[in-house]
Amino acid sequence: MKISVIMIDGSFRENTFGAEYFTKQNFSSDEYEVLWVEFYKSANEKLYQNNQLKIISLGHSSDTVYHSSNCFNEGIRQAKGELLIIPDADVIVQPDFLQKAWNIHQEYDKLVAYGYRYNEVNEHPLKNLEIKELKQKCVVTNPINYGGCITVHKKWLLAINGYDEHPTFETGFHANGLDIYTRFRNYGMAIQWSPLLKLYHPKHAFTATKSPEYQRQRNLINWRSKNLEYLPLKGLDSNLNTKSILHKRQSAKPPTPKIKQYQNTQSIRPKKQSFLKKIKQKLAFIFE
């Protein structure tokens, strides 16, 4: 199979446009599949009416904290396609989207290609969801939207051990799109935003919501960026997690230099004064 489209949910989606539009592509139907991974026990009822959609339920109870990386990784595990396309699940695309993505990755193998997400804005509310209306009114509000849509061969996601399932990335307000981008960059992948890959995103109430957990995730991502780390703390394969690799490589962690640390200058001054006192004592004969 050539392509697997993976979309995720935690029973919070206000619409499921992605399921509808990605199952109506002009790409050969036996050469691609569309997966919808639900974190909890049951997906949106409307989705079960779509026979072209493969619904995967992780079966977590309602009191379990949502973790999007669990959904992403399960989608990666079950995906049969050579090329994985992971879009926001509430976007609208044209029927040739998959063909364009496939063509891009035929030109260069070690590539991560992102799509541009065109958003509905308050100044130009949509009257309908026709492509003509979407093209006229939706605009790119974030040219480096890491979570809008990522396309990459499955083998490269396996190489960086998938998404990070560490508790740091819990909740729906996740920065794991930025995390995946950072780890792919550290791994040495070529990265581009393709103007051929356009996704349209109707506005909804959940769009502008923010969370303090996001900054905590950014702190971890910044550490990875500075240390060129491309493996997660808890990924698809436990043998490829960051801690496991560091444990196996004896030379991976340099020895800590034996340098005395001083908290402030007040702890240094007594030592300096003691040193000067000794010098004066040794040179006292000059002034006798």
pLDDT given for residue 3 in this prediction: 98
Residue 107 lies inside a defined structural domain of this protein: yes
Sequence-ordered list of residues with C-beta below 8 angstroms from that of 67, at least 6 positions apart, any chain: 39, 165, 167, 169, 170, 171
Q: How confident is the model over 3-15, as pLDDT tens digits?
A: 999 999 998 888 8
- Residue 44 in domain: yes
Q: Between these two residues, 273 and 121, which has the higher pLDDT value?
A: 121
In a domain? residue 182: yes
Residue 284 located in a structural domain: no
Examine residue 273 and state whether it is found in any structural domain, yes or no.
no
What's the CATH code of the domain at 47? 3.90.550.10
DSSP character string of 173-229: S--HHHHHHHHHHHHT-EEEEEEEEEEEE---TTTT---THHHHHHHHHHHHHHHT-
Domain membership of residue 154 as a residue range: 3-247
286 belongs to a structural domain: no
229-271 per-position pLDDT tens digit: 999 999 999 999 987 655 554 444 444 444 444 444 444 344 4
In this prediction, residue 268 carries a pLDDT of 39
> Is residue 253 a part of any domain in this protein?
no
Does any domain span residue 202? yes
The number of distinct structural domains making up the chain is 1
Asked whether the whole model's pTM tops 0.75, one would answer yes
